[in-house]
Amino acid sequence: MTKLALIILILLSLVLLSCDTDDDYTLSQKEIRDILYDISLDFNLGNTFGIMNHVHQEYLHKGEFSWHLNEEILDRMGRFQLLEIEVLFIEFNGNYAVAHTRDHYKSSLEDYTYNEPEDTGYFSYFYRSGGSWLIYGNQRWMMKSANVSEKPQVRTEDGAF
């Protein structure tokens, strides 16, 4: 009888260990990928409200608030009929994440691909708030200009920088 109980216990343990148990990282990956899929679906349906439901109330990206994001979405909807978001990879840092994607916009007149977050990054930056991931923006007031150095230039006595 004890051998039978031991065999049952071993089989039960194997079944429980073989179950699909996702960790926080995998669940976060799935949630952000689902959000990006929802954004592309809502874009294709012309549903700006659906897209904006995934945006954090404190959204700030390159000095622009969620109102500006809504305007950008409307502008793009006027220009393109379809959006397909190809997720390349997602970086996590605690409650923050950055989704690296290729956003393919298509219309009968043109096709355009944004490499995100490098090009615009509107849908790239996420924050985990209240147990859910939301689009948060890069939280910067200004975009760094390519020709502005991080350190101030100081003129030497001979006039050189």
Question: Looking at the domain assignment, is residue 52 inside a domain?
Answer: yes
The verdict on residue 8 lying in a domain is no
The residues with which 133 forms a beta bridge, in sequence order, are: 128
Q: What pLDDT score was predicted for residue 141?
A: 81
* C-beta separation of 141 from 63 below 8 A: yes
Residue whose tokens read 């849908």: 123
Which structural domain, as residue segments, surrounds residue 74?
A: 23-135
pLDDT computed for residue 147 by the predictor: 41
Structure tokens belonging to residue 130: 């209240």
Output the domain CATH number for residue 131. Answer: 3.10.450.50
Q: What's the pLDDT at 7?
A: 73
In the predicted model, residues of the chain with pLDDT beneath 50 are: 145-161
pLDDT value, residue 54: 97
Looking at residue 154, its pLDDT comes to 37
DSSP string, 50-88: HHHTTB-TT--BTTB-HHHHHHHHHHHHHH-SEEEEEEE
Residue 153: predicted pLDDT: 37
Residue 97: inside a domain = yes
pTM to 2 decimals?
A: 0.75
Element (DSSP H or E) covering residue 27: helix 24-45
Q: In the chain, how many domains are there?
A: 1
| Residue 18 included in any domain | no
With respect to residue 101, please indicate whether it lies within any of the assigned structural domains: yes
Question: What is the crossing angle of helices 24-45 and 66-79, to 10°?
Answer: 50
